[in-house]
Amino acid sequence: MISLNEFLVLSGILFAIGTAGVFLRRNLITILLSIEIMLNAVNLTFVAVGRYLGTVDGQIIVFFVMTVAAAEAAVGLALVIALFRHRETLSPDAFTTLRW
């Protein structure tokens, strides 16, 4: 029988995959996609715990997380477009003007 523990472990694995993507990839779009993976891992936790506690609050929070993810994707992709226009590259290693 599947219990809450399996869902928690699955979302932990997905969150770690998203973190690994942020560490390993050198492409701004793939880094944003990895952040989406992390947000979805947390969403899975909210829905699973909501089901366990017998409340709809978990699903309501997921609704808000999706809205925030949409806003984040819109602003993040606008930044990617602006950066690409300046440097003609998507590698985060190319944007080092603020480095000392």
Partner 1 sequence: MNPVLFYLFAAVAVIASLLVIGQRNPMHSVMLLIVSFGALSGLYVLLDAPFTAVTQIIVYAGAIMVLFLFVVMLLNAHTEDEAVPQTLGPHGMKIAVVLSLALAAEVVWALSRVGAASFSTDSAAAGAISSVARIGTGIFTTHAFAFEVTSVLILVAMVGAVVIARKEH
Pick the binder of partner 1 from 35, 42, 74, 97 (CB under 8 A): 74
Among 35, 42, 81, 98, binds partner 1 (CB under 8 A): 81
Of 61, 31, 55, 19, nearest to 43 (Cα)?
61
Select 5 or 97, whichever has its Cβ closest to partner 1.
Answer: 5
Site string for partner 1, 36-55 (x = CB under 8 A): xx--x--xx--xx-xxx-xx
Q: Are 11 and 62 in contact (CB under 8 A)?
A: no
**Could you give the angle at the alpha carbon of 37 between the alpha carbons of 35 and 39, nearest 5°?**
70
Nearer to partner 1, 54 or 98 (CB): 54
Q: Please give the single-letter amino acid code of residue 47.
A: V
Q: Which is closer to partner 1, CB of 3 or CB of 97?
A: 3
